Chains A and B, each alone.
Chain A
Amino acid sequence: AQSVSQHNHHVILSEAASLELGCNYSYGGTVNLFWYVQYPGQHLQLLLKYFSGDPLVKGIKGFEAEFIKSKFSFNLRKPSVQWSDTAEYFCAVNARRGSTLGRLYFGRGTQLTVWP
């Protein structure tokens, strides 16, 4: 079965600090990779996705993530965070084929708090 690990449960930063949230997954086949964000009181929204091609993907609000296949990692980065980035961030993976096709496997989430 697939699994996703997010290394940081709670990250606290000041505005303008740089952010990197770690995500590792375990699966031997080809996968799609996603980061979702859940702002306070809102539903899950897609931040960015990787299907194929350039391993450095850019998403909304200045976020980017890099897929490193050899490390089974898909870390999320932002050079300068804002107070409005305070939210919970989820890394997710799904398989391209096989019996688990389609279903997303989520990490436990990282709560990011940004102080103004």
Chain B
Amino acid sequence: GAGVSQSPSNKVTEKGKDVELRCDPISGHTALYWYRQSLGQGLEFLIYFQGNSAPDKSGLPSDRFSAERTGGSVSTLTIQRTQQEDSAVYLCASSLGGSLSEQYFGPGTRLTVT
């Protein structure tokens, strides 16, 4: 596609439920990133996939958060047992990889935990 796509665009869930957020990167981009944007914390890094390397998970806030990337393309971010503090916009970005590349962002998934 022309850009990074994410689904769903909005998700409302009850506290304690699991949610899955999906990201489709730009075709040919080997690097994929997840960020979270919230009023209190601004934009914060969550996880980074580069090709077939082990992902950099150091930004995940708790073990309730996990992500996978299948076939080097689509990625899914899973949040188990959601809490109200998980409410935020979850952003996905992709890039060509390497140390000199810019990241292109998707529209985000707005998650609301009630």
Residues of A within 8 A of B (CB): 32, 34, 36, 42-46, 49, 51, 90, 92, 96-97, 99, 101-109
Q: Given the interface contacts A102-B33, A103-B48, A103-B56, does A46 sit within 8 Å of B43 by beta carbon?
A: no
A92 to B35, CA, bound (A): 13
A102 touches B105 (CB 8 A): no
A42 to B33, CA, bound (A): 19
Chain B residue at smallest Cβ distance from A95: B99
Q: Which of B68-103 contact A (CB under 8 A)?
A: 91, 93, 95, 97, 99-100, 102-103
A94 to B26, CA, bound (A): 20
Chain A contacts for B56, CB-based, 8 A: 99, 102-103
Q: Can you pick out 27 interface pairs between chain A and chain B where the beta carbons lie within 8 Å of each other? A: A32-B99, A34-B102, A36-B105, A43-B105, A43-B106, A44-B91, A45-B105, A51-B100, A92-B43, A96-B99, A99-B56, A99-B58, A101-B99, A102-B48, A103-B33, A103-B48, A103-B56, A103-B59, A104-B33, A104-B35, A104-B43, A104-B45, A104-B93, A106-B35, A106-B42, A108-B42, A109-B42
Q: Given the interface contacts A34-B102, A46-B102, does A105 sit within 8 Å of B45 by beta carbon?
A: yes
Could you say which interface size class chain B belongs to? 20 to 34
A49 touches B102 (CB 8 A): yes
Residues of B within 8 A of A (CB): 31, 33, 35, 42-45, 48, 50, 56, 58-59, 91, 93, 95, 97, 99-100, 102-108
Chain B CB within 10 Å, residue with most, of A42, A43, A45, A106: A43
Q: Which of A34, A99, A102 contacts B31 (CB 8 A)?
A: A102
Chain B contacts for A34, CB-based, 8 A: 102
Q: Given the interface contacts A103-B33, A104-B33, does A32 sit within 8 Å of B100 by beta carbon?
A: yes
